[in-house]
Amino acid sequence: MQTMVGMKKSQMRIQQMAFMILAVFFFFTLVGLFLLQVFLGEMRTSAQEREREQVLNILESFSQLPEFSCSERSSFCIDEDKIFVMKIEEINQLYSEFWPISSIRIFKIGGNFSTLKECPSLGCNYYKVYENPEQTQQMEYSSYVSICKKIKDSQEYVYNFCELGKISIGMKIKS
Amino acid sequence: MKKGDFNFVWLFAILAGSAILVLMIYAAVRTGTTIKFYQDTELTKQVSVFLDPMQAGFVSSSKGVLSSKREIVFDSFCDSSNFGYQKLSAKQIRGLNEDFNILGEEITIKDKYIYFSKEPSKKFYFFSIPINFGFKVTDVLIIDSREFCFLEGYEDLPSFKTHISVLGDKAIFGEDNCTKNSIKVCFNYGTKCDITIISDCIESWCDDKYEKGFVIKEGERIDYVGNFLYPAIFSDKEIYECNLKRILYKAGVLSLIYKEKSERMSSRNCPTNLEDTLIELRNVCFNSKNIDEIYSISKLLKELEERTQCKLWSE
């Protein structure tokens, strides 16, 4: 009879200890998961911040890229002829994924800007230079520029014909 | 309490306790490694973002300094197919064992051409140098921390001292000022040189003595033209050649863009007559990739463009 009581007491203690160990284990696991969540949140914010900085830097220097700039010494000036060339499929495909961005759109904001009409077409006012088809979410940053092209007039004088424009660059958002 | 009963309870507690302790220590070490990996990856991304504004611009060169409390080491993998890419990675050395000092995640960079030294340092100097093939192709970025001593002869390169001065006190000019640890850079000849720059110019072809030539370092010869001299001095041969191929491809694509632009301008009665030369440049950039030939065509292009009334890339 005494042996039975002793055995029951021991079993009870083992059970108590097992529950205690499990509780401690779950407690630390929960603390770990909470810390991991905080850490991942910070990481996500930091990654988004870096992407945003990158897009802003590209936006700042965009009009000086040889692929778009009016000339080697101009700033905030985009060459309209180069925009047309960059839209040629052969060249456009070469540049897909070259810059770490999701889209490039260039708007002519002089004249009628109430309705958007894609170029090249009569009375058009915007160019869709590049758009990543896999990017469903968009966050765009814009800057004002001049859109110019070289013209030779009837007196053989060569000048830059410019219009007011806006470039809009999409940031890559990781889903 | 029986003797056997006491032993079993304690044995169970010790075993379970040890298992939990081992698990927790493992989790702590893993977390530490992950945090370090994340910090190194963030550092690489920060460097990549920091380099953005240095890359494009109409100024002749730009500069910057990266300082850290810990020593940093850079590494990269370079792919030269078409536009290619560089996978840049960095690590901060924490003075622990090598296993802990693994590199951060690689950041793929397609729109930059980075040349760097693999020496660990707490302070790195960055500068950019424009690369032109008649028209501007890109700015290359150089990252270095080593001390260089440039011996007599650099005076023959008009802009050399200006470009190199961005290295601050790490750029020493003249043999008398060299220190024991500095890397000796000689021009055309010299004794005990770590790097020797040899001119390969024919006077009628070159504007200055070192416009074309080769660099000898660690027993290897690196051919250069124009501003490729700077990457040839600072970078190792593998990265130099990979980035050279990527830049040549970009020059080929840009000649195609300028050719198309020229055709559009011609249709508006503003001809440039550069189409044939641009096609020739594109073909050499894409196919033979002969740097001498590319540079000759580039010089011809520059001359022709200067003469034309309808400018393609200059004002």
Integer Cα distance of B124 and B144 in angstroms: 5
Residue B239 covered by a domain: no
Residue B111 dihedral angles phi and psi, to the nearest 5°: -100, 15
Q: How many other CB atoms are there within 10 angstroms of residue A3's CB atom?
A: 8
Average pLDDT for residues A73-100, to the nearest whole number?
87
- Closest residue of A to B314, CA-based? A71
Does the pLDDT of residue B209 top 60, yes or no?
A: yes
Residues 92-131 of B with CB under 8 A from A: 110-111
Q: Do A156 and B309 touch (CB under 8 A)?
A: yes
Residue A154 is predicted with a pLDDT of 84
Which residues of chain B neighbour A6 with C-beta distances below 8 Å? 1-2, 5
**B262 and B128 co-located in one domain:** no
- Is B257 in the A-facing interface, judged by CB distances under 8 Å? yes
Domain count, chain B: 2
Residue B56 is predicted with a pLDDT of 55
Residue B274 covered by a domain: yes
Residue A106 is predicted with a pLDDT of 92
Greatest mean pLDDT among A104-113, B215-224, B249-258: B249-258
Does the pLDDT of residue B254 top 90, yes or no?
A: yes
Over residues A102-137, the pLDDT tens digits come to 889 999 887 766 788 888 888 888 899 888 777 666
Residue that is last in its domain, among B145, B175, B207: B145
Does the pLDDT of residue B144 top 60, yes or no?
A: yes
Residue B6 is predicted with a pLDDT of 59
Q: Do A158 and B257 touch (CB under 8 A)?
A: no
Residue ranges of the domains in chain A? 1-175
Mean pLDDT for chain B? 83
Does the pLDDT of residue B59 top 70, yes or no?
A: no
Domain encompassing residue B287: 244-307
Residue that is last in its domain, among B127, B145, B163: B145
Residue B162 covered by a domain: no
Nearest C-alpha of chain B: how many angstroms from A133? Answer: 19
Residue B187 covered by a domain: no
- Closest residue of B to A47, CA-based? B42
Where residue B171 falls among pLDDT bands split at 50, 70, 90? confident
Cα angle value B35/B40/B44 (rounded, 5°): 145
Residue B13 covered by a domain: yes
Average pLDDT for residues B75-85, to the nearest whole number?
89
Residue B57 is predicted with a pLDDT of 55
- Is B3 in the A-facing interface, judged by CB distances under 8 Å? no
β-strands B113-116, B135-144 pairing: parallel
ipTM of the complex: 0.79
Residue B179 covered by a domain: no
Residue A9 dihedral angles phi and psi, to the nearest 5°: -60, -45
Residue that is last in its domain, among B119, B145, B171: B145
Length of chain A: 175
Where residue A12 falls among pLDDT bands split at 50, 70, 90? confident
Residues 76-115 of A with CB under 8 A from B: 79, 81-82, 84-86, 88, 91, 94, 97-100
Amino acid at B210: Y
Name which of A14, A24, A32 is nearest B20 (Cβ-Cβ).
Answer: A24
Over residues A13-35, the pLDDT tens digits come to 778 878 888 888 888 889 888 98
More confidently predicted of A10 and A122 = A122
More confidently predicted of B48 and A31 = A31
